[in-house]
Structure 1
Amino acid sequence: MNTESYQPLTLMDFAEPESSSMWQAINDDVMGGESQGEPQVIDRQLHFQGDISLANNGGFASVRARGQHHDLSAADSVLIRIKGDGRSYQFRLYTKAHFQGSRIAYATSFQTIDNEWLELRLHFSQLQPVFRGRTLSGPAFSPADVEEMGFMLVDKREGPFKLVVDWIRAA
């Protein structure tokens, strides 16, 4: 790929009012846990915040933007501008790939610095296929078929959390 001629493609900038309704929470309550996390778009930024609980074998919170249709085959990475709380989060992309009847996530982790804006490049080569908390050996990530994107906190540490996302781009 000739990166000099490729202009980053904005996947999400949260300026449009409908961007708020695209984001949905999927927390550990789907399996009996008690963690809470929710997405809100405030001042053109996504705020993913809540509280992680380890009760009932819980310990994760996530948000996903559904209804995405991106061909990212001209890119090799995703750029994100985020402000976190010092915790480690996952960025996830979803394609048409399924395992045991459910969608596979392609995930990579990133570390935040408490209350500091960071611009991070997450290379597609870092993405690992994940299904319900376990890493799979395949299928390989297909950048031409991105249908959803999201963030997940799964560090097994109880307490409040907050991640603010300014934008998401492909590069």
Structure 2
Amino acid sequence: MKSQLLFDFNSNSDIKNWVIVDDVVMGGTSSGSFGISPDGHGVFKGAISLDNNGGFSLVRYTFERTLILDFTKIVLHIKGDGKPYQFRIKSNSGDYYAYITPFSTSGNWQEIEIPLRDMYPSFRGRRLDKPNFSEAYIEELAFLIGNKKEEHFKLLIDKIELR
């Protein structure tokens, strides 16, 4: 089975292109952070607040445009906290919308397979009247939590790959 790594975390990973975007961009007070755990995993964690109509935190990774025509899915190697998250991709980082899919975490390490063709276009929580993902490239991926409740969260990421 052919695969291609999009990101493989280790204790020396360069994470400068992993950027947090919280609901503070619209007046909210949620706070997320991103770093590397002592055992070399990406760690997206923080607290969601519903104050001032807030309620989300996102970490996004922008990278060199990658041809994906030989692949049909993205595989996430993650360990969540039992909460639901969204995985998001963009074929052009300048697009106002992203293609998204929700996924659940179990509290254990998981390998989550996301068929690219099942990812649907969304903007600010609303599904758009556009076709599902069918692009030739991607250049941004993101994880988002926004479950319409106040909560602390923690998502460990080992690697993200195309298959």
1:1-171 alignment to 2 at 5 Å?
6-15=1-10, 17=12, 19-42=14-37, 43-96=39-92, 102-114=95-107, 116-138=108-130, 140-171=132-163
Structure 1: unaligned runs, 5 residues or longer: 1-5
Deviation track 1:29-61 (CA, whole Å, cap 9, x = no partner) reads 100001111111223311000000000111100
C-alpha contact (below 8 Å) 1:33/1:53 kept by paired residues: yes
C-alpha contact (below 8 Å) 1:13/1:44 kept by paired residues: no
**Number of corresponding residues:** 162
SS for the counterpart of 2:66 is: coil
Query: Given residue 89 of structure 2, which amino acid in structure 1 is its aligned partner?
Result: L
C-alpha contact (below 8 Å) 2:72/2:116 kept by paired residues: yes
Q: How much does 1:18 deviate?
A: 5.3
C-alpha contact (below 8 Å) 1:78/1:121 kept by paired residues: yes
Using structure 1 for the length normalisation, give the TM-score. 0.88
Deviation track 1:45-94 (CA, whole Å, cap 9, x = no partner) reads 11000000000111100000013321111111000111011100001101
Superposition misfits of 4+ residues, deviation over 6 angstroms: none
Distance 2:106 2:13 in 1: 29
What fraction of aligned residue pairs are identical, expressed as a percent? Answer: 37
Q: How much does 1:16 deviate?
A: 7.7
- RMSD of aligned Cα (Å): 1.7
Deviates more, 1:45-54 or 1:143-152: 143-152
SS for the counterpart of 1:68 is: strand
